Amino acid sequence: MKKTYSVEVDCANCARKMEEAAGKVPGVAALSINFMTQRMSVEFAEDAQEKPVMQAVRKTCRKVEPDFVIEL
């Protein structure tokens, strides 16, 4: 399953760092943050639940950049 979310990221460098960190969250098969279109696209691993995974993703991203905003 693949989904796209609207995000608010301030700097390209933080987006890069978040992408790296959030890609390692369990349940995420692939993750990319498009700083230019302010979108995060997430490919979930098989039998992963969207909600808990995305909450973990948000938590991870906030660790990198406390101002991170995502519309879940």
Partner 1 sequence: MVTRRQKKTLTRILLTAVLLAALWFVPAEGWLKLCLYLVPYLLIGYDILRKAALGIVHGQVFDENFLMAIATVGAFVLAWIDGSGDYLEAVAVMLFYQIGEWFQSYAVGKSRRSITQLMDIRPDYANIETDGRLERVDPDEVAVGTVITVQPGEKVPIDGVVVEGASSLNTAALTGESVPREVAVGDTVISGCVNMTGLLKLETTRAFGESTVSKILDLVENASSRKSRSEDFISRFARVYTPAVCAAALALAVAPPLALTLLGRSARWPVWLYRALAFLVTSCPCALVISIPLSFFAGLGGASREGVLVKGSNFLEALSQVRQVVFDKTGTLTMGVFQVSGVHHSDLPQEKLMEYVALAESASSHPISKSIQRAYGLEPDRTRVTDVRELSGNGVIATVDGRQIAAGNEALMEKLGVPASPCHSVGTIIHVAVDGAYAGHIVVSDVVRPQARDALRQLKAAGVARTVMLTGDNDPAAQAVAADLGVDQVYSRLLPQDKVERVEALLSDQPKGQRLAFVGDGVNDAPVLSRADVGIAMGAMGSDAAIEAADVVLMDDDLMKLPKAIRLAKRCMAIVWQNIVFAIGVKVLCLLLVAVGAANMWLAIFADVGVMVLAVLNAMRCLKTPE
* Interface residues toward partner 1, by CB under 8 A: 4, 10-13, 16-17, 32, 34-39, 41, 63-67
Give me the residues paired with residue 44 across strands.
Answer: 28
Cα–Cα distance for residue pair 26/10, rounded to 1 Å: 25
Residue nearer to partner 1 on the CB measure, 24 or 47: 24
Residue nearer to partner 1 on the CB measure, 27 or 41: 41
Cα–Cα distance for residue pair 13/56, rounded to 1 Å: 21
Residue nearer to partner 1 on the CB measure, 35 or 44: 35
Q: How many CB atoms lie within 10 A of CB 27?
A: 17
Find the shortest distance in angstroms from Cβ 18 to partner 1.
Answer: 10
